[in-house]
Amino acid sequence: MKNEKIVATLVEYAHKLAEEKVCGIKDMIAMRSGSAMYVTKAGADFASLVDSDIDVVELDKAEGEYKLFADVFNAREDIGAICHCYPAWIAPLAKVGATIPAVLDDMAQIVGSTCKTSKNDSASIIKTLKGRNSCLIKEDGCLTSGRTMDEAYTCVLVLDKAAHCYVSSAVIGKNVIINGLEARLMRFVYKVKYSKKNQENLKSAEGEV
């Protein structure tokens, strides 16, 4: 029997991603549930996503399009939710293998001091995610993660905004980048102090187990 809270959470955030226009036709999102995960079916329309568009897959039996999500969950116990999305501002940067520096305070806090482009395979993606919540994937959008779906979703929005700022600022030659040490400190404070209790409350509300 499916966990109704998790299903409702995935439907809610799929709709939110569609409303924010930060997704495309190949987007998938997933949440961990013990030794399994709840994941949206490949090709499902986020704008009209319903309960039947969500599968429950055992992490050690995942195949095909579900394998990447299972590999990340298995490698990172701290990750409870994943978004694999295709925001418009991300696509050209992922195509050229760019690294997005922390051009915004909220990027430094939520994403990390940089967001790098990974090769399109599980091992490379997991390596690139070390110390970060997200990465670009060569020719394949971005992958964001979080302790909760709310955090992974927020990471998509912040990353898209940071990519927009980075590209726009580069065009006019006025890109202001946050110092690496300062960016890492901002992320540490966010993870340890400001967001911990909020994420614990969200885990309960989203039905994660």
Residue type, 192: V
| pLDDT tens track for 10-67 | 999 999 999 999 988 799 999 999 999 999 999 999 999 999 999 999 999 999 999 9
In a domain? residue 209? no
Place of tokens 């992320």: 187
Instruction: Provide the residue range defining the domain that includes 80.
Output: 4-204
Report yes or no on 21 lying in a domain.
Answer: yes
Asked if residue 157 belongs to a domain, the reply is yes
- In a domain? residue 119: yes
Q: What is the pLDDT of residue 199?
A: 53
Domain count, the chain: 1
Tens digit of each residue's pLDDT (9 = 90 or more) over 126-143: 999 998 889 999 999 999
Report pLDDT for 134. Answer: 92
**Does residue 206 register a pLDDT over 50?**
yes
* Per-residue pLDDT at 203: 62
pLDDT given for residue 179 in this prediction: 44
141-145, 170-174, 179-183: which has the highest mean pLDDT?
141-145
pLDDT at 49: 96
Return the pLDDT at 181. 38
The answer to whether position 174 is within a domain reads yes
Please answer whether residues 103 and 176 qualify as being in contact, where contact means their C-beta atoms are separated by less than 8 angstroms.
yes
DSSP 49-117: --GGGEEEEEGGG--GGGHHHHHHHHH-TT--EEEEE--TTTHHHHHHT--EE--SHHHHHHT-SEEPE
Find the CATH number of the domain harbouring 148: 3.40.225.10
Specify if 122 maps to a domain.
Answer: yes
Does the pTM exceed 0.85?
A: no
